[in-house]
Amino acid sequence: MSSIQDAHESPIAMPAVRETGLSQPLVLLLAAGAGLAVASLYYSQPMLGVLGADIQADDRAVGWVPTMTQLGYAFGILLLAPLGDRFDRRRIILAKAAVLAAGLLAAGLAPSIGALLGASLVLGLSATMAQDIVPAAAALAPAEHRGRAVGTVMTGLLLGILLSRVVSGAVAEHFGWRAVFMAAAGSIALLAVALWRGLPRFTPTTDLRYGELLASLAVLWSRHAALRRAALAQGLLSLGFSAFWSTLAVMLHGAPFHLGAAAAGAFGLAGAAGALVAPVAGRIADSRGPELMTRLGAGLAVLSFAAMALSPWVPEDGRLWLLVASAVGFDLGVQASLIAHQTIVYGIDPAARSRLNAVLMVGMFIGMAAGATLGSQALAIWGWNGVVAVATAASAGALALRLATRTGR
């Protein structure tokens, strides 16, 4: 092996996973696996208002719970997701499922904010099994239907993100926040059994050592402008997305709404509309090209976030409906852009899909972590209008980046 660059160009002498297409039961299993895994990152968000009071932590300390899960996810993608090119993805997915179940159990038993923050970091690291599942679907799908396959599995992942808030809010309202984490641990344990039985084995696509594997991420970043644009644009969109969702429960808990965890979680039903666009976005990316979809998605996110700034001029009984409509709009935009960006990235180099996905998702979840922090600070200093300003500016930056890009440049 002469160099990392040479290893990237001709990664191995091993055969890659054959693109066979996905059976419907396997599609459903992969979608469920991605959804349940990534849901672990978001169970806490609707419960922050009641969770802090129960463990005697202030709003700033509690605000670090979603930040730690997002940072753990970003570091897990960077340090662990590239292993999917080096080892059998099936073994990696099963190992992460075991750690994730243990982390959820630890979160449910956490006696203090410090213990909960530690468990949140473990949840973020191990929930990256979702980012092993999506490249697995891309590897099994034929090239002409890759966007559709990825879009279908991403529907499960996105529903997991959004409906996790609905479920956790409702369960926390009636049974307490600890019951949410306990039930989630059980669901991951059952999922692990189903994946053990139904998931095929994958042949590695590189024989790079771990250090070389991580170093090759920098090579991929410097070599492929399309990867850089995708990671930066999706990161900016994710910043706005996270700023909204990380502060929504706290905002609704105060005046003028005075709503509890269940109401905050119910907003996930509005956002779930975004998940329904994933297969459609994948088909459009296959037929019309993914660049168009990235611009449409970013533009819709900008308009939806900006619409929230109209809240002071909307009658008080209509403000909640404005938030719901905006949540539907920006979720549609953010998720459509994500599917398009994944279609772009997975087409760059079939032998490096796990690493390419790792770079894209690190950018995305760094944006998520930054959004959680900036959103909390903006809410504390400037109120809800500060959160809206942060989200709108970030999505406008993503739109500007995609508009500056032309197919073939």
- Domain extents for the chain? 23-203+221-403
Q: Which two tokens stand for residue 277?
A: 């666009």
Question: Mind listing the pLDDT tens digit of every residue in the chain (409 residues)?
Answer: 444 444 444 333 333 334 445 677 787 889 899 999 999 988 888 887 777 767 767 767 777 888 888 788 878 888 888 888 888 888 999 999 999 999 999 999 988 888 999 999 999 999 999 988 988 887 776 666 666 777 778 788 878 877 787 788 888 888 888 999 999 999 999 999 999 988 888 888 788 888 888 899 999 999 999 999 999 999 999 999 989 988 887 777 766 676 766 666 667 666 666 666 666 766 676 667 788 889 988 999 999 999 988 877 777 677 788 888 888 888 889 988 988 898 889 888 878 888 898 899 888 878 988 998 899 889 888 888 899 999 999 999 999 999 987 544 4
Q: Which amino acid is at 180?
A: V
The phi-psi region of residue 363 (left if phi > 0; otherwise alpha if psi is between -120 and 50; otherwise beta) is alpha
The residue among 170, 138, 139 whose CA lies nearest residue 151 is 138
Cα separation, 31 vs 39, in Å, equals: 12
Radius of gyration for the chain, computed over Cα atoms and rounded to the nearest angstrom: 20
Asked whether the bond before 256 is cis by omega within 30 degrees of 0, the reply is yes
Handedness of CA 128, 134, 138, 141 (dihedral sign): positive
Multiple choice CATH, 23-203+221-403, 1.20.1250.20, 3.40.50.1820, 3.10.20.30, 1.10.3720.10: 1.20.1250.20
CA distances from 228 to 29, 95, 116, 349, 394 (A): 31, 30, 34, 14, 17
Helix (H, G, I), strand (E, B) or coil at 81: coil
Helix (H, G, I), strand (E, B) or coil at 206: coil
